[in-house]
Amino acid sequence: MECERQQAAKLTPKQVHDRLMSMGVSDLDAGLVADCLNVGKSTTWMNNDPVADNINEQLSGFLKQHGYGFEITVTPCRGRYIWDVKKLR
């Protein structure tokens, strides 16, 4: 577990941003998530930028792989998507 945390510390916000965009996350959403992970904050927002059908699974795998203590949920709602980034305790 400690090794995973060290690996996570090596990812810069730009690297996180780029990895998320490679999963199909928009530039805006990737930037917001990267910022949350970098400064350790939870937040929620809504927009209409499309996401991949399996984005929740991809984000969960990414967070586990890099040892981030966060949970991210993307929920479709009337043509928009609600992003919920939560820091786990």
pLDDT digits (tens, 9 = 90+) for 5-54: 444 457 999 999 999 999 999 999 999 999 999 999 999 999 999 999 89
89 pLDDT tier (thresholds 50, 70, 90) = confident
Query: What residue segments make up the domains of the chain, in order of their start?
Result: 2-87
Predicted TM-score (pTM) of this structure: 0.86
1 pLDDT above the threshold of 60 = no
Rg (C-alpha) for the chain, rounded Å, is 12
Beta strands in 1-89 (DSSP E): 43-47, 70-77, 80-87
Q: What are phi and psi of 75, to 5 degrees?
A: -120, 125
85 pLDDT above the threshold of 80 = yes
Q: Are 70 and 63 in contact (CB under 8 A)?
A: yes
The length of the chain, given as a count of residues: 89
Q: What is the pLDDT of residues 44-81, one digit of tens each?
A: 999 999 999 899 999 999 999 999 999 999 999 999 99
CA distance 49 to 69: 25
